[in-house]
Chains A and B, each alone.
Chain A
Amino acid sequence: MSQDYQPLASTRIAGDYQREWAKGLRAQITSGEKYAFVNADTPHELFHHMGVPIVTNQWWSAIIAAKQLSEFYFDYMQAAGFHDRLARYSSLPLIAELEGDTARQPWGGLPTPSILCARQSADDHQKVFSLWSEKTGAPLALLSSPAVPDPQPDWWHLARDGWEELYHSDRLDLMVTEFEALIAQLEALTGKTFDHEGFADYMDRINEQERIYEEASALIADAERCPIRISEQIPNVMIPQWHRGSPWAIEHAKRFRDEVAERVAAGAGVVENERIRMMWIGAGLWFDTSFYSAFEESHGAVFAWSMYLPFAADGYIRESRGDPLRALAARVSAMNEQLHQPPWINSWMVEQARRYRIDVALMLIPEHDRFSGHGSLFAKKALEAAGVRVIEVWSDMVDPRQWSREEMMARIVPELDAILAERV
């Protein structure tokens, strides 16, 4: 790890904001405020716009893992009769809920949500959320997920404006009607009426936020040396993403972009002598995020890319074209699939590796969150054909039991040595 690296001020600000938000949310909830517990690939925008706070399943899972609690919960999971090949990332919060001791959970745990929401992108999402619903009695809003039968490889070119053709009208029609049903549920929950006009403005603000992140991504991709660690990219994108379109989120996106721009202008890099640029493919390694800086000193190797920053633009910007609800359906209707389904994932990985001048990709392949693992080997093959070395990391985002940093280092170091040797 490089000793000279200075963290961004934005990172601290984002962390502080989320901590305060969580504290405030907890206070709100305990005083009777309603909140929703939702999966990452659901229309958060509808909840935000109706003023219903949300807690995102994958974010809460990462928090539990970061508090080093996942091992305890996965042991409990097996003791409760769930076998050890079931999803972990998307189920860790459920297991904490089933275990029931809220005092053990981060921040004293979560109270019962007023509504649950999941999309059937993965086959087990509805199982996980229905168990949560059974346990708590919270109603479950489940969104259908018919597949795109003819996924076009260059989806990120079409997704912003040509989404009707890309995602297909029948799928969007269905998703819009399911959104309308969800809006009706939220109206009944809150006693408020959905403001369609205001929603159009709100969707525009989200596009504005994601364009700022696009600029930040371009700055990092084009910089001679990578200016910030991905362990800082991730919170500076994802915390505002959970609050997307809010004044704070847009302000923070600008703050982050400007701070990155300053570093690039100053010629600052994560390491003085950057020799290898790496990408981390997959969700974060939430229980060991310092791993991302493990090769800086020894090899001048920097993780320059993780999906969260570039996906902000490619995964989220959807022009409203006069129909913001349909544009939201376009954003949501293949959100997760674009990160895991061939040819979407392989094409995008190659494009991003080229854009970021990547030498080596570390590819997290979770065996248990099956949906997140599918398409990995297609992506590996495509990256290798594009001249990128790929190292498979068979591990899990939130379960440290299969992770050995030492063993992983022992696999990666020879690859990095080989690259440096080739350059002599």
Chain B
Amino acid sequence: MTGTGAAASAAAALERAMEQQENWSSTAAMPRVGIFGNGMPETLVAAAGAVPVHLALGTTTQSHPICEVIEPFVDEEVRYFLVRLMRGDFADLAGIIFARDDAPALIAYQYATEWIRQDLERAKTPPLFLWNLVHTDTQPVRTFNRVQAKKLFGFFEGLGLESPDAADIAAAARAEQERAAALRKLDAAVGVSLSGTRAARWRNAGRFMSAGEHADLLAAALAETVEDLPPPARIGIVGSPLCCEKTYRMIEGFGTVVCDQQGFGQVWPGPGNAASELEDILVATAADPSCHRIAPTSSHRAGLVRALKEARCNLVVCQLSQTDDTFGWEIPALATELAAQGMTLVNLGFRDARPGDAWLEGAAQQLDQALEARK
């Protein structure tokens, strides 16, 4: 990767944010509210006067007594989160919000609240809140989701933050609009001056900082950064949330990741973030097709196929966490629908959050064979 001056500095800052995650230094002096899961519009947290920071991407090698009640089929990010929560890693956060319709988030919330209710061994934990937004668009659901926003604002007040008004929300939305514009430029740079690997890291770096700071860093970094690019094949990624640079690098040994539809990919920030009014934020968030719980149920797969087609992918890589029990239902029909559009789906199967070399080698062989077969 090359770049000079401000671009190199911004690029380095984005990389550092990915390493520091919720402890990203520029936010340390501000009230921070943790978010677990996709589906919680960061705009509302910002409008309340806090910096939203995501907590589902972190890992730990530590343990804690809470592990004894975590079944082995519970998602890995939940286990890491619960250990870190109970060890006090999030003690400085003003509160934590869990997105109910993100499957791991509900379990994280339930297990955390029960451990705390029983007053079992733990360090200081911040107040927890379940963001119960329902993902569909009917009038009763709109009413229900408005009630959830009201409850959220009550939670903010309880934390000593603002209960945001229309002006606060509009101001926060402006920062999100700037971020959205910067992310569009980021996407446009993929395959031209930037790898999909780098783009994914720079996108996710924004999960740990304000939208405005993210927009500024992206704009600065994109101004001059030029990477050595992968081969020309256009690759899409689907499946379980993936946040592993090594795995991206392996995939990009065969082409550029131009369409990243897994949970830590381009589906974030959610579609409601840049809306200026509360109602529009809620409606757009509730209609997000990347949510597995979206109704009508056909929206999810249709959204995937549409995005992959628009990105003109040749190859779509599916990869699954060891605990997948949801995306697997989509795979046969998705493979059929993609084939009808001239795209090949390669299912790499189950992998760890940070896959080892043997898995990466086997996955590379699978991709190699799939590309050979397309010739």
Q: Cβ of A383 < 8 Å from any Cβ of B?
A: no
Across-interface contacts of A378 in B (CB, < 8 A): 69, 111, 114
Q: Find out whether the CB atom of B332 lies under 8 angstroms from the CB atom of A82.
A: yes
Q: Cβ of A149 < 8 Å from any Cβ of B?
A: yes
Q: Find out whether the CB atom of A123 lies under 8 angstroms from the CB atom of B114.
A: no
CA distance A113 to B190 in the complex (A): 47
Say how far A96's CB is from chain B's closest CB, in angstroms. 16
Given contacts A124-B325, A130-B297, contact A377 B132 (CB under 8 A): no
CB nearest neighbor in B for A174: B144
Most chain A CB inside 10 Å of its own CB: which residue of B73, B322, B324, B333: B73
Across-interface contacts of A170 in B (CB, < 8 A): 144, 147-148
Say how far B142's CB is from chain A's closest CB, in angstroms. 10
Across-interface contacts of A367 in B (CB, < 8 A): 71-73
CA distance A127 to B332 in the complex (A): 12
Given contacts A81-B331, A81-B332, A123-B103, contact A374 B71 (CB under 8 A): yes
Across-interface contacts of A374 in B (CB, < 8 A): 71, 74, 107, 110
Q: Cβ of A321 < 8 Å from any Cβ of B?
A: no
Q: Find out whether the CB atom of A343 lies under 8 angstroms from the CB atom of B328.
A: no
CA distance A186 to B55 in the complex (A): 44
Q: Find out whether the CB atom of A85 lies under 8 angstroms from the CB atom of B333.
A: no
One of B107, B140, B329, B333 near A177 (C-beta < 8 A)? B140
Across-interface contacts of B349 in A (CB, < 8 A): 83
Across-interface contacts of A123 in B (CB, < 8 A): 103, 292-293, 325-326
Given contacts A368-B325, A381-B68, contact A144 B106 (CB under 8 A): no
Q: Find out whether the CB atom of A343 lies under 8 angstroms from the CB atom of B114.
A: yes
Given contacts A83-B349, A173-B140, contact A146 B100 (CB under 8 A): yes
CA distance A374 to B325 in the complex (A): 13
CA distance A129 to B329 in the complex (A): 10
CB nearest neighbor in B for A379: B69
Across-interface contacts of A365 in B (CB, < 8 A): 71
CB nearest neighbor in A for B335: A81
Q: Cβ of B295 < 8 Å from any Cβ of A?
A: yes
Across-interface contacts of B295 in A (CB, < 8 A): 120, 126, 142, 144
Q: Find out whether the CB atom of A82 lies under 8 angstroms from the CB atom of B144.
A: no
Interface size class of B (residues with CB under 8 A): 35 or more
CA distance A181 to B143 in the complex (A): 15
Q: Cβ of B136 < 8 Å from any Cβ of A?
A: yes
CB nearest neighbor in B for A149: B130
CB nearest neighbor in A for B294: A126
Say how far B315's CB is from chain A's closest CB, in angstroms. 18
Q: Cβ of A115 < 8 Å from any Cβ of B?
A: no
One of A124, A343, A377 near B70 (C-beta < 8 A)? A377
Q: Find out whether the CB atom of B323 lies under 8 angstroms from the CB atom of A85.
A: yes
Q: Cβ of B184 < 8 Å from any Cβ of A?
A: no
Q: Find out whether the CB atom of B329 lies under 8 angstroms from the CB atom of A127.
A: yes
Most chain A CB inside 10 Å of its own CB: which residue of B141, B325, B330, B350: B325
Q: Find out whether the CB atom of A86 lies under 8 angstroms from the CB atom of B329.
A: yes
One of A144, A342, A346 near B136 (C-beta < 8 A)? A144
Q: Find out whether the CB atom of B140 lies under 8 angstroms from the CB atom of A342.
A: no
CA distance A134 to B103 in the complex (A): 23
Given contacts A127-B297, A142-B297, A368-B325, contact A82 B331 (CB under 8 A): yes
Contact pattern, A 336-376, Cβ under 8 Å of B = 1, otherwise 0: 00000111001000000000000000000101101001111
Q: Find out whether the CB atom of A131 lies under 8 angstroms from the CB atom of B333.
A: yes
CA distance A243 to B100 in the complex (A): 33
Q: Find out whether the CB atom of B144 lies under 8 angstroms from the CB atom of A173.
A: yes
Q: Find out whether the CB atom of A173 lies under 8 angstroms from the CB atom of B143.
A: yes
Q: Cβ of A147 < 8 Å from any Cβ of B?
A: yes
CA distance A373 to B70 in the complex (A): 10
Q: Find out whether the CB atom of B332 lies under 8 angstroms from the CB atom of A342.
A: no
Across-interface contacts of A274 in B (CB, < 8 A): none
Q: Cβ of A87 < 8 Å from any Cβ of B?
A: yes
Across-interface contacts of B113 in A (CB, < 8 A): 150
In residues 302-356 of chain B, which contact A (Cβ within 8 Å)? 320, 322-326, 328-333, 335, 349-350
Q: Cβ of B2 < 8 Å from any Cβ of A?
A: no
Say how far B137's CB is from chain A's closest CB, in angstroms. 12
CB nearest neighbor in A for B133: A146
CB nearest neighbor in A for B331: A81
In residues 363-413 of chain A, which contact B (Cβ within 8 Å)? 365, 367-368, 370, 373-378, 381
Task: Kindly list 16 other residue pairs between chains A and B, CB separation below 8 angstroms, not including A147-B106, A376-B71.
Answer: A81-B331, A81-B332, A81-B335, A85-B328, A86-B325, A86-B328, A87-B325, A120-B293, A127-B326, A144-B136, A174-B140, A177-B140, A181-B138, A343-B114, A343-B118, A374-B74
A to B CB contacts below 8 Å, 5 in the list: A123-B103, A123-B325, A341-B110, A342-B114, A377-B69
Task: Please list the 10 inter-chain residue pairs (A to B) with the smallest Cβ-Cβ separation, ordered nearest first.
Answer: A130-B297, A81-B332, A177-B140, A127-B329, A342-B114, A149-B130, A146-B132, A377-B69, A174-B144, A170-B147
